[in-house]
């Protein structure tokens, strides 16, 4: 086998220098356009024009020739980078696409896309039929030429549109999602038309079989992607997060799926960007692929690869050919027909689609952008011998000019589109979910011994995680074989080591599961898990059973497991009575609360003392939510409102203003009216969150010298079913301490109490 020679020193130097210059000019022009209120994509597209034969080639021809007048193989190195940027940009676009919203507006998107395809196709065909023969390679091929021009006029540029929507911060609005949906349908139909016309150019006859194969291929890929592919991507991302973890592993996984899907769609005769876009949509629906990780990927894409893609696309343009009066005149006609066809076609059907005038103008202006997609079409036409060099340049000019027009039109028209109440609430909810404590709980650990407190903790976790893709691990600690007097041979030691390793990594393999053959405690462990799972019911995420053997402290085993990337540890524990060291909890729970690396939620089910587990299924009708306005209180509020929504319960948000005693001489006393006003702002802030989520909320603000006793009294008088409160751990010798008020409630409340603590 002959070895492939490595890239030469000069070739490598040249491509690095080209990328340096392209990225620098693209970012400088992008920032310049941003500073005057225009999207950066405009400057990035112009960067290629500035560095191409249109400007640099005229002003400093020597520099232009040294940099960009290179061999085809050398320029292909830039094209590879350009395609990588295009694929990454479509992946980011997929992240921001709400497929449920697109489906809900499917009829509207279909009408818009048909208007954006049929009208420009008809006007483009007529244009091609009547253009002077100087722009046709062969007069005998006018039919093929006309069909090709019609196809070029019908194309939209999803990458350019997506970049504009991202920069205008409207991609999550209904109008942005409609443009993306209609644009994807447009481009899919455009790919089918392009395949048909290309087949006609190659064979001289209309290749209907090729068009049919393309249609079937698109439908087959989408069908497989949104069924089997959705599950594969979700399970793989979850597995990577459990076993490896970290942003790097997550981004690498999604990028691998993107490249694989792009290769598949390219192999199927479609475009690689279709595969990238679909992977972005599917990955964006996976809860484990968090907003934070997406933002990291998006930042790299928009800062480096997208500007390079747009700059390289503009590099192909040569406006010097427009110096010929005939070419310039034909260019104006082609540009006019392209704009009138696409813009007019969409605006004409916007009324039928139930859209306002300004919505029609915005969508028409956005989809009028042709960008690199039309440049790709023009390149294919040039390679097939359909287009002359002059016609190729005209189509590239149309692609650039329409891409420059789109952001100006959209920036002008979008502010005139009123946001409906449903859209406003949806966007507000999405913004809340990005920073939500509950929504970002990906992995939760519930150590259990099967007690009533742990069962009630599971009872609360059921409505909390019922509709969230949160994975819940149930952990049971058992004595080791050595502790039980087993031989403790090499095989046992190896098994224990592997089990611990798997637990640290969050591995869901069988070695961490219960019911190993011959395990002397397997029956009891099975009963423990069964009680908990009965209370949990059916959850959207994965529920796993983990068993860890220990010959020492159970707390140590729980802490080692919790260090494996969990977002929350839930502990069911009854408060101790008559403890000599004033500890509220058992030594195990006390230590876990003190040392856990993640937030801990303690559930004390003192109010269900003596109940049988089956009676824990009684509905929760009223939740008491004490708050002092801290972040811990905010997180507890999220938990309370989420449970209340599922249980259809009322949440009473309470703030107790502490009256200063007369001996507090060193405390600056605040006038009572101001204290009440502050308290009202605190409860109103939490109540607004609850109402935003759809919960039934009431608020209470009162004075008391003993807030803990007052909260216990409220819970008793209102017959509350649970108290949920947040508290930060306070430094205290040898035990977990949340403050006297929280401990009063934990010790004396007549109902179950949940305390969420931050590390």
Query: To which H or E segment does residue 753 belong?
Result: strand 753-758
Nearest to 152 by CA among 405, 361, 335, 360: 335
- Burial class of residue 617 (count of CB atoms within 10 Å of its CB; 0-12, 13-18, 19+): exposed
Could you tell me the two tokens for 423? Answer: 């859209």
User: Mean pLDDT across the stretch 391-398?
Assistant: 84
pLDDT at 612: 43
* Residue 759 pLDDT grade (very low, low, confident, very high; cuts 50, 70, 90): low
Q: Which of 119, 110, 122 is nearest to 183 (CA)?
A: 110
- Residue 11, pLDDT > 50, answer yes
Q: Which pLDDT band, with edges at 50, 70 and 90, does 735 fall under?
A: low
Check if CATH label 1.10.645.10 holds for domain 9-433: no
Residue 458 in this model has a pLDDT that exceeds 60:
yes
Range of 99-108, 330-339, 429-438 with top mean pLDDT: 330-339
pLDDT of residue 635: 92
Residues 6+ apart with CB under 8 A from 3: none
pLDDT tens per residue, range 544-593 = 888 887 766 788 888 888 888 888 999 988 766 544 445 667 788 888 88
Query: Does the pLDDT of residue 163 top 80, yes or no?
Result: no
- Residues facing residue 725 across a β-bridge: 755
Lowest mean pLDDT among 340-354, 476-490, 501-515: 501-515
- Under 8 Å between Cβ of 136 and 117: no
pLDDT digits (tens, 9 = 90+) for 610-639: 444 435 667 899 999 999 888 889 999 999
Q: Give the pLDDT score at 703.
A: 84
CA–CA dist 189, 181 (Å, integer): 13
Residue 136 DSSP code: B
Comparing 166-175, 319-328, 398-407, 484-493, the range with the smallest average pLDDT is: 484-493
Of the two residues 662 and 582, the one the predictor is more confident about is 582
Q: How far apart are CA 194 and CA 137, in angstroms?
A: 18
Residue 519: is its pLDDT beyond 50?
A: no
Chain Cα centroid distance, residue 644: 26
Lowest mean pLDDT among 496-505, 613-622, 663-672: 496-505
Indicate if the pLDDT at residue 217 is higher than 90.
no
| pLDDT, average across residues 316-341 | 86
- pLDDT category at 460 given cuts 50, 70, 90 is very high
- Dist CA 447 CA 553 (whole Å): 14
Mean pLDDT to the nearest integer, 484-502 = 45
Query: Residue 483 above 80 pLDDT?
Result: no
Predicted confidence band of residue 143 (pLDDT cuts 50, 70, 90): confident
Per CATH, domain 436-569 is 3.40.50: yes
> Hunting for tokens 């400057």 — which residue is that?
43
* Cα(442)–Cα(506) distance, integer angstroms: 12
Cite the residue boundaries of each domain of the chain with CATH code 1.20.1530.20. Answer: 9-433
Asked if the model's pLDDT at residue 161 lies above 90, the reply is no
Measured on CA atoms in the order 606, 607, 610, 611, is the torsion positive or negative?
Answer: negative
Q: Is the pLDDT of residue 24 over 80?
A: yes
pLDDT at 402 over 60: yes
Q: What is the pLDDT of residues 224-269, one digit of tens each?
A: 999 999 999 998 998 888 788 788 999 999 999 999 999 998 888 7
| Distance of alpha carbon 692 from alpha carbon 6, whole angstroms | 60
Q: Between 608 and 47, whose confidence is greater?
A: 47
Q: Is the pLDDT of residue 193 over 50?
A: yes
pLDDT in tens, 678-721: 888 899 999 988 988 889 999 998 888 888 889 999 999 999 99
Residue 350 or residue 380, greater confidence: 350
Determine what percent of the chain is predicted with pLDDT higher than 70: 84
Query: Higher model confidence: residue 98 or residue 28?
Result: 28
344 CA to centre of own chain: 34
**What long-range pairs does 255-264 form, CB within 8 A, spacing at least 24?**
255/88, 255/91, 257/233, 257/283, 258/87, 258/88, 258/91, 259/87, 261/225, 261/229, 262/87, 264/221
> What is the Cα–Cα distance from 141 to 228, expressed in whole angstroms?
44
pLDDT at 607 over 80: no
Model confidence band, residue 33 (pLDDT cutoffs 50, 70, 90): confident
Q: What is the mean pLDDT of the chain?
A: 80
Q: Give the three-state DSSP class for 514.
A: coil
Which residue carries 């139909």 as its tokens?
189
pLDDT at 667 over 70: no
Kindly state the tokens that stand for 268: 């199927």
Confidence of residue 754 (pLDDT cuts 50, 70, 90): very high
Neighbouring CB atoms inside 10 A of 713's CB total 14
Q: How confident is the model at residue 207 (pLDDT cuts 50, 70, 90)?
A: low
Contact 636, 754 (CB under 8 A): yes
Contacts of 682 (CB under 8 A, 6+ apart): 627, 628, 629, 655
Is the pLDDT at 5 greater than 80? The verdict is: no
Average pLDDT over residues 477-487: 57
Q: In whole angstroms, what is the distance from residue 584 CA to residue 742 CA?
A: 11
Please report which confidence band the pLDDT of residue 504 belongs to, taking 50, 70 and 90 as the band edges.
very low
Run of H or E including 426: helix 421-435
Whether the predicted pLDDT of 369 surpasses 50: yes
Structure tokens at 756: 């969420």
Q: How confident is the model at residue 367 (pLDDT cuts 50, 70, 90)?
A: confident
Specify the domain boundaries for CATH 3.40.50 within the chain.
Answer: 436-569
Token representation of residue 289: 């692929």
């Amino acid at each position: 086998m002959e070895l492939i020679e490595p890239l030469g020193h000069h070739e490598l130097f040249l491509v690095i220098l080209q990328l340096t210059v392209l990225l620098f000019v693209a970012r400088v022009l992008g920032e310049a356009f941003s500073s005057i209120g225009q999207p950066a994509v405009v400057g990035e597209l112009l960067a290629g024009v500035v560095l191409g034969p249109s400007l640099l080639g005229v002003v400093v021809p020597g520099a232009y020739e040294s940099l960009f007048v290179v061999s085809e193989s050398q320029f292909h190195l830039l094209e590879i980078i350009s395609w990588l940027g295009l694929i990454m940009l479509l992946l980011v676009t997929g992240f921001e696409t709400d497929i449920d919203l697109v489906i809900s507006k499917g009829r509207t998107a279909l009408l818009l896309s048909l208007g954006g395809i049929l009208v420009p196709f008809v006007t483009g065909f007529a244009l091609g039929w009547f253009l002077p023969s100087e722009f046709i390679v062969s007069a005998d091929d006018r039919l093929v030429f006309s069909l090709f021009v019609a196809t070029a006029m019908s194309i939209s540029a999803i990458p350019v549109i997506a970049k504009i929507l991202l920069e205008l911060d409207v991609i999550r609005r209904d109008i942005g999602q409609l443009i993306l949906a209609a644009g994807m349908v447009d481009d899919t139909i455009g790919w089918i038309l392009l395949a048909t016309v290309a087949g006609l150019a190659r064979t001289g006859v209309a290749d209907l079989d090729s068009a049919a194969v393309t249609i079937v291929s698109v439908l087959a890929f989408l069908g497989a992607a949104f069924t089997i592919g959705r599950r594969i991507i979700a399970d793989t991302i979850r597995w990577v997060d459990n076993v490896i973890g970290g942003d790097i592993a997550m981004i690498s996984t999604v990028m691998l799926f993107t490249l694989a899907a792009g290769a598949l769609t390219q192999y199927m005769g479609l475009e690689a960007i279709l595969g990238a876009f679909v992977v972005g949509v599917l990955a964006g629906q996976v809860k484990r692929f968090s907003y934070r990780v997406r933002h990291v990927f998006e930042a790299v894409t928009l800062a480096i690869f997208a500007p390079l893609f747009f700059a390289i696309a503009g590099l192909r343009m040569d406006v010097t050919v427009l110096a010929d009066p005939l070419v310039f005149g034909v260019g104006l006609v082609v540009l006019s027909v392209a704009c009138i066809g696409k813009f007019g076609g969409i605006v004409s059907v916007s009324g039928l689609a139930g859209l306002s005038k300004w919505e029609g103008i915005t969508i028409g202006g956005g989809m009028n952008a042709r960008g690199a997609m039309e440049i790709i079409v023009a390149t294919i036409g040039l390679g097939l011998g359909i287009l002359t060099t002059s016609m190729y340049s005209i189509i590239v000019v149309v692609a650039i000019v329409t891409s420059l027009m789109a952001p100006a039109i959209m920036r002008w028209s979008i502010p005139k589109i009123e946001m409906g109440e449903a859209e406003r609430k949806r966007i507000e909810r999405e913004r809340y979910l990005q920073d939500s404590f509950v929504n970002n709980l990906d992995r939760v650990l519930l150590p259990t011994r099967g007690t009533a407190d742990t069962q009630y903790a599971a009872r609360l976790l059921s409505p909390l995680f019922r509709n969230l893709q949160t994975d819940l691990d149930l952990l049971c600690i058992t004595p080791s074989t050595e502790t039980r007097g087993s031989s403790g041979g090499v095989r046992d030691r190896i098994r224990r080591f592997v089990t611990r390793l798997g637990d640290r990594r969050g591995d869901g393999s069988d070695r961490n599961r219960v019911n190993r053959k011959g395990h002397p405690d397997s029956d009891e462990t099975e009963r423990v898990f069964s009680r908990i799972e009965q209370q949990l019911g059916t959850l959207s995420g994965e529920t796993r059973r983990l068993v860890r053997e220990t010959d020492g402290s159970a707390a140590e085993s729980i802490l080692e497991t919790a260090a494996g990337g969990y977002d929350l540890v839930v502990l069911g524990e009854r408060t101790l009575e008559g403890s000599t060291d004033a500890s509220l909890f058992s030594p195990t729970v006390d230590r876990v609360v003190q040392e856990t690396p993640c937030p801990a939620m303690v559930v004390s089910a003192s109010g269900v003392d003596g109940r049988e587990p089956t009676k824990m299924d009684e509905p929760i009708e009223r939740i008491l939510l004490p708050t002092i306005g801290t972040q811990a209180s905010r997180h507890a509020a999220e938990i309370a409102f989420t449970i209340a929504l599922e249980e259809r319960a009322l949440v009473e948000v309470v703030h107790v203003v502490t009256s200063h005693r007369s001996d507090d001489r060193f405390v600056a006393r605040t006038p009572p009216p101001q204290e009440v006003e502050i308290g009202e702002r605190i409860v109103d802030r939490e109540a607004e969150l609850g109402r935003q989520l759809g919960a039934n909320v009431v608020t209470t603000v009162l004075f008391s010298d003993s807030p803990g006793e007052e909260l216990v009294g409220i819970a008793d008088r209102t017959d509350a079913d649970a108290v949920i409160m947040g508290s930060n751990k306070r430094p205290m010798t040898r035990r977990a301490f949340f403050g006297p008020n929280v401990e009063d409630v934990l010790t004396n409340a007549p109902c179950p109490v949940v305390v969420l603590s931050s590390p």
